[in-house]
C-alpha cells in the first residue's frame, strides 16, 4: 500500500509539472519513485507517465508549432533513444541521478539568478540535433527526454510558446519510441500493467490544471518556472542518490 501511495503521489505532482511546463514528468516522478521502486519499474512508469502527459498536453495546448525547428531535435532524439535503452540494464542509477542532479543544482540557479540569460546563437540545426540526441539517450534511461533540450531552448532565448511546442512534440515522439522499445525488449512486464492503470487517471486532472495555468503566464515567468522546476528536480535527485552512494 505504501508503494501505491507513492506511485499516485508522484504521478499527481509530476502531472501538474508537465502540464505547466511541457516537460519534467520523469524528473519529478523519479524524485518520489526512486526511493522505493525498483529502478526498471520506476523507469517504465516514468516513460509511460511522461508519454501519457504529452498526449494530453498535445491535445489541450497547441501553440507555436514549427516543424522546421522541431525536426533536428526529433531526428537526434530518435538516434539517441536506442543508446539509452541499451545502457539502462548496466546503469548505476544512483551515480546517474547524482551526476544529473548535481548539474541541475549548479547550472539552473545560476541561470535563474542572472540578470540577463546568455543567449546561444551558434550551432544551428546541427547543435539542435546533438541536443536532441542527448535528450534521446536520457529518455531511454528513464523518461528524462526534456531536460537537456529544455535548458538548450532556454539558452536560445525562444518565446515560451515556441519553446513549449519544441519540447512538447519532441518529448511526444521520443517517448513513444522509447515506450515501444521498452515493450518489445521485455523491460515492460505484465506485472507493471496494473500500475500503468493507476498512473494514467492519477495524472489526468493535474496535467489539465497545469496546462490551464500555463496559458496565463508571461515568457519571463515561464523561464523562471522552468529553471526553478529544474533546480528542484536536481535537489530531489541528489537527496535520493547521495545517501545511497554514501551507504555503499
Residue-wise pLDDT for 118-161, tens only, equals 677 778 889 999 999 998 888 777 667 777 888 888 888 888 88
Q: What is the dihedral of CA 55, 99, 39, 7, to 10 degrees?
A: -50
Q: Closest by alpha carbon to 42, among 178, 163, 195?
A: 195
CB of 152 closer than 8 Å to CB of 134: no
Task: Tell me the three cell numbers of residue 35.
Answer: 526511493
CB of 202 closer than 8 Å to CB of 8: yes
Look at residue 248 and tell me whether its pLDDT is greater than 70: yes
Helix (H, G, I), strand (E, B), or coil: what is residue 3? helix
Task: Tell me the three cell numbers of residue 144.
Answer: 528524462
Average confidence (pLDDT) over 206-226: 83
* Non-local CB neighbours of 85 within 8 Å, separated by 6+ positions: 140, 141, 178, 181, 182, 185, 187
> Is the pTM of the predicted complex or chain greater than 0.75?
no
Task: Tell me the three cell numbers of residue 102.
Answer: 548535481
- Chain-centre distance of CA 33, in angstroms? 14
Look at residue 91 and tell me whether its pLDDT is greater than 80: no
Residue with cell 531511454: 140
Q: Where are the domains of the chain?
A: 2-246
Look at residue 17 and tell me whether its pLDDT is greater than 60: yes
Residue with cell 529544455: 150
pLDDT of residue 178: 80
Per-chain mean pLDDT for the chain: 82
Which residue would you say has higher pLDDT here, 69 or 192? 192
First to last CA, the chain: 28
What's the CA gap between 147 and 196, in Å, rounded?
23
Amino acid at each position: 500500500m505504501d508503494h501505491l501511495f507513492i506511485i499516485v503521489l508522484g504521478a499527481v505532482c509530476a502531472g501538474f509539472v508537465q502540464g505547466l511546463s511541457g516537460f519534467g514528468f520523469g524528473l519529478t516522478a523519479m524524485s518520489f519513485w526512486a526511493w522505493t521502486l525498483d529502478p526498471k519499474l520506476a523507469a517504465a512508469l516514468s516513460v509511460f507517465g511522461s508519454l501519457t502527459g504529452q498526449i494530453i498536453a498535445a491535445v489541450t495546448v497547441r501553440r507555436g508549432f514549427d516543424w522546421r525547428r522541431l525536426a533536428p531535435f526529433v531526428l537526434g532524439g530518435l538516434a539517441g533513444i536506442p543508446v539509452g535503452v541499451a545502457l539502462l540494464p548496466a546503469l548505476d542509477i544512483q551515480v546517474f541521478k547524482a551526476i544529473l542532479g548535481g548539474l541541475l543544482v549548479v547550472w539552473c540557479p545560476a541561470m535563474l539568478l542572472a540578470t540577463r540569460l546568455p543567449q546561444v546563437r551558434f550551432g544551428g540545426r546541427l547543435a539542435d540535433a546533438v541536443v536532441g540526441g542527448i535528450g534521446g539517450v536520457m529518455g531511454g534511461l528513464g523518461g528524462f527526454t526534456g531536460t537537456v533540450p529544455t535548458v538548450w531552448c532556454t539558452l536560445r532565448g525562444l518565446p515560451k510558446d515556441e519553446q513549449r511546442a519544441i519540447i512538447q512534440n519532441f518529448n511526444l515522439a521520443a517517448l513513444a519510441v522509447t515506450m515501444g522499445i521498452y515493450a518489445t525488449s521485455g523491460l515492460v512486464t505484465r506485472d507493471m500493467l496494473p500500475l500503468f492503470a493507476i498512473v494514467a487517471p492519477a495524472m489526468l486532472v493535474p496535467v489539465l490544471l497545469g496546462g490551464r495555468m500555463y496559458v496565463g503566464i508571461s515568457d519571463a515567468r515561464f523561464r523562471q518556472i522552468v529553471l526553478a522546476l529544474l533546480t528542484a528536480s536536481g535537489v530531489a535527485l541528489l537527496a535520493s542518490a547521495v545517501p545511497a552512494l554514501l551507504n555503499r
